[in-house]
Amino acid sequence: MKAGNGARILAPLALVVFAIACFTVLSSQDSGSSTKTSETSAAKKAAATSAAAKTGPTRSTYKVKPGDSFAAIAEKQGVDVQTLQELNPDIDPRALQPGQKLKLK
């Protein structure tokens, strides 16, 4: 069985058209939701930063939540990242586990 030249061109062309269509649909959905999400996240970060800067950490410990990082925790709690690392020398900042407790003071 010998396939014609048309079949050799049609299959890759259909794949390219499908990929372009998927990219177009996904990029149009992402652009609307990411703008709203980033605006909301920026507003929350600004509020948390200003509140933390005014009062400083009110608790002496912080329980790590999924997705937390040293930088995010430091910003939320109004503590310098270096201070947070110095207070918690036994904790690897790149391997935080949910449930771990960090010293803030």
Q: What is the pLDDT of residues 42-83, one digit of tens each?
A: 666 666 655 555 555 677 899 999 999 989 999 999 999 999
> Could you give the number of structural domains in the chain?
2
Residues 49, 70 within the same domain? no
Residues 67, 27 within the same domain? no
Burial (Cβ within 10 Å: 0-12, 13-18, ≥19) of residue 85: middle
| CATH at residue 83 | 3.10.350.10
pLDDT of residue 11: 77
Average pLDDT on 14-24 reads 79
Query: pLDDT digit string (tens) for 87-98?
Result: 999 999 999 999
As given in the structure block, the two tokens for residue 9 are 């061109």
pLDDT at 35 over 60: no
Residue with tokens 């900042």: 93
Residues 22, 4 within the same domain? yes
CA distances from 35 to 38, 64, 99 (A): 5, 28, 31
Beta-bridge partners for 61? 103
Residues 78, 43 within the same domain? no
Domain extent for 66: 56-105
Sign of the Cα pseudo-torsion (55, 56, 62, 65, in order) = positive
Residues 1, 28 within the same domain? yes
Residues 21, 67 within the same domain? no
